[in-house]
């Protein structure tokens, strides 16, 4: 909670109490969006914290704070995606590689998703992972519904190219 102290030493709640309540109520959903956008819990937390810090000074002027925060996160990622981080740090290395097709499929999808342009990726995350309507997605991104439709269509087509459907033998566990 934010507390102000005036020159007489009196304390009282700042007008930003509603910001704190909003963050407590919507943090999990916003963190999920951040994770889906960047694919790492640590980076998602950093992204969300930076977005919240950027939004706080403008809090009183926001009509749709959640949409505004999502837009901030997407814009911040546009700069990060231009400089991709290729190093993955783990605490413990496995003794031998494991084989889990579900994990491999997920990793392949994430890799393909990262190769899409920023706006196309944002449309796919908001439309299909967040299950937002075309209108909501357009509003969050500040684009037309037609742009959302074309980005979604092209993005899905591109993902199908980058992640080919497994053969029947692979699906049945045969090699």
Domain co-membership, 64 together with 117: no
Per-residue pLDDT reduced to its tens digit, 66-116 = 888 998 998 888 765 555 555 566 777 656 555 555 555 667 777 888 888
How far is it, in rounded angstroms, from Cα 55 to Cα 104? 37
Task: Name the pLDDT band for 149 (thresholds 50, 70, 90).
Answer: very high
Report the share of the chain in percent with pLDDT over 70: 70
Domain co-membership, 32 together with 79: yes
Lowest mean pLDDT among 53-57, 61-65, 150-154, 162-166: 162-166
Task: Name the pLDDT band for 52 (thresholds 50, 70, 90).
Answer: very high
Domain co-membership, 125 together with 155: yes
- For residue 131, give its domain range: 104-167+169-173
Q: Could you tell me the CATH number of the domain that includes residue 122?
A: 1.10.10.10
How far is it, in rounded angstroms, from Cα 117 to Cα 1? 39
87: left (phi over 0), alpha (psi -120 to 50) or beta: beta
Q: 164: closest CA among 102, 109, 123? A: 109
* 17: in domain: no
* 130: in domain: yes
* 136: in domain: yes
Domain co-membership, 110 together with 69: no
* 13: in domain: no
Domain co-membership, 80 together with 123: no
How far is it, in rounded angstroms, from Cα 163 to Cα 108? 7
What's the first-to-final CA gap in the chain, in angstroms?
58
Report angle CA 28, 31, 33 to the nearest 5 degrees: 115
131: left (phi over 0), alpha (psi -120 to 50) or beta: left
Domain co-membership, 108 together with 57: no
Residue 112: alpha-carbon gap to chain centroid? 16
What's the structural domain count of the chain?
A: 2
Task: Name the pLDDT band for 138 (thresholds 50, 70, 90).
Answer: very high
Q: 29: closest CA among 63, 67, 64, 1? A: 67
Q: Which residue has the tokens 């499929």?
A: 105
* 34: in domain: yes
* 108: in domain: yes
* 18: in domain: no
Domain co-membership, 71 together with 126: no
Domain co-membership, 161 together with 112: yes
Task: Name the pLDDT band for 2 (thresholds 50, 70, 90).
Answer: very low
pLDDT at 96: 59
Q: What is the mean pLDDT of residues 135-153?
A: 92
Long-range CB pairs of 146-154, under 8 A, 24+ apart, other chains included = 148/123, 151/119, 151/120, 151/123, 151/124, 152/123, 152/124, 152/127, 152/128, 154/120
* 138: in domain: yes
How far is it, in rounded angstroms, from Cα 33 to Cα 52? 14
- Contact status, residue 56 vs residue 16, Cβ threshold 8 Å: yes
Report the share of the chain in percent with pLDDT over 90: 25
Q: Which helix (H) or strand (E) holds 11?
A: strand 11-13
Q: Which of 17, 51, 84 is the last residue of a domain?
A: 84
Domain co-membership, 109 together with 161: yes
């Amino acid at each position: 909670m934010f507390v102000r102290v005036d020159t007489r030493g009196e304390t009282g709640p700042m007008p930003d109490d509603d910001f704190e309540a909003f963050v407590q109520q919507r943090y999990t959903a916003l963190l999920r969006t951040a994770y889906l956008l960047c694919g790492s819990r640590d980076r998602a937390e950093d992204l969300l914290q930076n977005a919240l810090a950027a939004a706080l000074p403008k809090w009183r002027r926001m009509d749709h704070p959640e949409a505004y925060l999502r837009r901030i996160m997407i814009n911040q990622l546009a700069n990060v995606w231009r400089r991709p981080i290729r190093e993955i740090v783990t605490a413990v290395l496995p003794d031998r590689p494991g084989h889990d097709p579900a994990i491999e499929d997920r990793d392949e999808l994430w890799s393909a998703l990262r190769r899409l342009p920023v706006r196309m990726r944002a449309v796919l995350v908001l439309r299909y992972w967040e299950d937002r309507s075309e209108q909501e997605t357009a509003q969050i991104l500040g684009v037309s519904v037609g742009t959302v439709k074309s980005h979604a269509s092209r993005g899905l087509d591109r993902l199908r190219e980058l992640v080919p459907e497994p053969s029947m033998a692979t699906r049945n566990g045969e090699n």
